[in-house]
Amino acid sequence: MEQALEIPLVIALAFGGSLLAWRFRFLTPTGAAAAAALATVIGLAASPRWTVALLVFPVIAFLATINYFKQKEERGLQEGEHGERSHANVLGVALIPAAISVAYALSSGRAEDVLAVAFVSAVAVSTADTVASEVGVTDRHGTWMITTLEPCEPGLNGGVSRLGIVSSLGYSVIYSIVAWAVVFDSFGWQFLIPAAAGMAGNLLDSVVGAVWENRGKISKYGVNRLTQLAGAAMGALLYAPFA
């Protein structure tokens, strides 16, 4: 795509998607502004395809939120008043992918494909984690602390459930299939790499939440960025031999 067409396309995608997210109350005004800015950086540094791949995440997250919102609201476990996300949530999800896109802009050759996989892997982590949080807390079969396997309250950092694990794995795979096709304009078995990295990052999120976040040693958003970075690194390392 010609550079002259890429810039307005990226801006339209970034701001259009953010406005829709605000309109449907998935993002607060500050959340929408942060999302538009970071999605623009990603698209201009890498490709409009990367912006599209990023926007697949809020669509999945929104669907998971509205489908299980009533159950979460009854138990006081929803984000914000209506499930909306602020700029802090957006930075927790999109800051690492934005940094990867900048690295991509400065790279060449095989490194470009490796960084593209790292990007998809990072967003897959957020997809799996968000679905696990939105869906898992509604599991009537109970929640267990990942480090001890003892029963715990739904919504507690480090708590996992069967429904949350199965759902997050399924959506990590779905996101990776779609994002891989968008970013690489092709389809192959390699989508399993970011899918696996996404699920691994999600489980790591629970471990870090149980060990550090519950003790006040790291914030929720710090956990998000740390586990995204770990997922991105895992995806890149697994894909590097095939690049």
Chain segment 183-218, per-residue pLDDT in tens: 999 989 999 999 999 999 999 999 999 999 999 999
Q: What is the pLDDT of residue 5?
A: 79
Eight-class DSSP state of 14: H
Residue 141's pLDDT band (cuts 50, 70, 90): confident
Q: Do the beta carbons of residue 51 and residue 43 sit within 8 Å?
A: yes
Greatest mean pLDDT range, 63-67, 87-91, 193-197 = 193-197
Which segments of the chain does DSSP mark as H helices, in order? Answer: 3-23, 29-45, 48-74, 87-105, 110-136, 162-184, 192-211, 220-239
- Which residue in the block uniquely carries the two structure tokens 């890429």? 6
Banded model confidence at residue 48, pLDDT cuts 50, 70, 90: very high
Whats the size of the chain, residue-wise? Answer: 243
Structure-block tokens of residue 140: 């009537």
Q: Which two tokens stand for residue 27?
A: 């993002």
- Give residue 4's pLDDT: 64
C-alpha to C-alpha distance for 190 and 223, rounded to whole angstroms: 27
> Radius of gyration of the chain from Cα atoms?
17
* pLDDT higher than 70, residue 67: no
Q: What is the mean pLDDT of residues 153-180?
A: 92
CA 100, 101, 103, 104 torsion-angle sign: positive
What is the spatial distance between Cα 102 and Cα 30, in angstroms, rounded to a whole number?
23
* H-helix segments, 46-86: 48-74
